[in-house]
Amino acid sequence: MTGFNDEQVWLGTWGKVWVDGELLSEATAFRAEVTISYEDLTRVQNLMVGHKMTSMAGEGEITLHKVDSFVMKKIAADIKAGKVPDITIESSWNDPNANGEQRIAVKHVKFEKITLMDWEAGSIGEESYSFTFSDYEIKAMV
């Protein structure tokens, strides 16, 4: 790409997040990424170290304005009973000035914590939840 129009830079305001099909309009940030692990590989007649992919790990984070207890309601009872709910999170990003849409789904999501209570006088309520996932689907990309 030799250049781009400034308005084509994506603005996070146009992101959306759904948890098990329910739109979370209170979402303010979302991140999902896959970390790839490699093992060094030596080869005959070659001094350069090669790299063999050996595993992948999915992790992410969602940040929400505190408007209700969505995540607590979604998982607290199951977790307390020793069950892990099978959750899918889908996110799209579609800035009207950008070139298209990016949409992904992360599957078999496991939240790493439940925030029972977290507030501070004079501060706007916000919650952030880290999670892992074991599958993903790219539904649309630019």
Q: pTM here? A: 0.90
Q: Hey, is 124 helix, strand or coil?
A: coil
- Rg (Cα) of the chain, in Å, rounded? 19
| 139 closest CA partner among 96, 99, 106, 102 | 102
Q: Which two tokens stand for residue 28?
A: 């303010």
pLDDT at 78 (0 to 100)? 95
- Predicted confidence band at 76 (pLDDT cuts at 50, 70, 90)? very high
Q: What is the mean pLDDT of the chain?
A: 94
| CA atoms in the 13 A half-sphere facing the CB of 30 | 24
Percent of the chain predicted with pLDDT > 70: 99
* β-bridge partners, 118: none
DSSP of 64-110, one letter per residue?
A: EE-SS-HHHHHHHHHHHTT----EEEEEEE--TTSSS-EEEEEEEEE
Q: Which residue shows structure tokens 């006088």?
A: 121
Residue type, 110: K
Question: Are the beta carbons of 52 and 41 closer than 8 angstroms?
Answer: yes
First to last CA, the chain: 13
pLDDT at 98 (0 to 100)? 85
Q: Is the pLDDT of residue 106 over 90?
A: yes
Q: Could you tell me whether strands 135-140 and 87-93 are parallel, antiparallel, or unpaired per DSSP bridges?
A: unpaired
Residue-wise pLDDT tens digits, 15-50? 999 999 999 999 999 999 999 999 999 999 999 999
pLDDT at 1 (0 to 100)? 57
pLDDT at 100 (0 to 100)? 86
d(CA 72, CA 90): 19
